[in-house]
Structure 1
Amino acid sequence: MMSITDPNTSDRFTKAMQEIHSKQLQAFGKITDMTTELCQSHRQFVKSALDTGMKKCKDDEMLFETIQTFRKDLEQKNKSLKEKRLAISDVISEIQQKEMQKDEIIHKIEKLKEEQVKRKELIVSQNKANKNRLKNLQKCRVMFQEHLALEIRTILGKTELVRGEKLQFVFRNINPTDLESAYIVTMGINAEGSYQIVSSDPALKCLPDLEKRLQETNNLAAFLANIRKEFVSVARG
Structure 2
Amino acid sequence: MAQHGTAIIGSMMEVEGELNYELEEQKIQAIRTSNLNTIQRFLTSVETDINATRQKIHSRMLSMCEEKKKLQQKIEDTRQRIQQAEAKRSRDKEEVQQLERELERLKIQLQGKKEELEAQKKVLATCMEEIKKKESLVSETKAENQEKMRQAEHCIELYKKYLGLDIICLQNTLVLKFTQVSQINPEAEYMVRLGLEEDKYTLLGSEPPLPSLPQLQEELNASGNLLACLVQIRKLFQRME
Could you say which TM-score interval applies, normalised by the shorter chain?
Answer: 0.5 to 0.7
What is the aligned residue count? 161
- Paired residue for 1:179? 186
Q: Which residue of 1 aligns with 2:218?
A: 212
* C-alpha deviation, 1:142, in angstroms: 3.9
TM-score by length of 2: 0.54
Q: 1:155 to 1:138 in 2, by over 3 A?
A: closer
Distance 1:166 1:226, change over 3 A: same
Q: Which stretches in structure 1 are left out of the alignment for 5+ residues?
A: 1-64, 157-163
- Deviation string 1:126-173 (CA, Å, 9 cap, x unpaired) is 2321332134224422432343x24232323xxxxxxx2432221223
- List, as ranges, runs of 4+ consecutive aligned residues in structure 1 with deviation greater than 4 Å: 68-78
Are residues 204 and 82 of structure 1, via their aligned partners in 2, closer, same or farther at CA, if it must alter by over 3 Å? farther
Q: CA deviation at 1:108?
A: 4.5
Residue 151 (structure 2) pairs with residue 136 (structure 1):
yes
Helix, strand or coil at the partner of 2:185: coil
Larger Rg: 2
Alignment of 1:1-237 (within 5 A): 76=91, 79-147=94-162, 149-156=163-170, 164-190=171-197, 192-233=198-239, 235-236=240-241
Shift of residue 78 of structure 1? 5.5
Query: What is the CA–CA distance in structure 2 between the aligned matches of 1:98 and 1:115, rounded to whole Å?
Result: 25
1:123 Cα deviation after fit: 3.1
Specify whether residues 114 and 73 from structure 1 end up closer, same or farther in structure 2 by C-alpha distance, changes over 3 A only: same
Structure 2, unmatched stretches of 5+, are: 1-78
CA distance in 2, matches of 1:201, 1:225: 16
Taking only aligned residues, the RMSD between alpha carbons, in angstroms, comes to 3.2
Q: CA deviation at 1:204?
A: 2.4
User: How many percent identity over aligned positions?
Assistant: 21
TM (normalized to structure 1)?
0.54
Distance verdict in 2 for CA 1:101–1:200, change over 3 Å: farther
Q: In 2 relative to 1, CA 207–93 (structure 1 residues): closer, same or farther, beyond 3 Å?
A: farther
Q: Which amino acid aligns with 2:178?
A: F
**Could you say which residue in structure 1 is the equivalent of 2:15?**
none
Cα deviation per residue 1:195-223 (whole Å; 9 max; x = unaligned)?
23333222223222222221221111121
The structure in which a higher percent of residues are helix is 2
C-alpha separation between the residues in 2 aligned to 1:103 and 1:201? 61
Classify the secondary structure of the residue corresponding to 1:175: coil
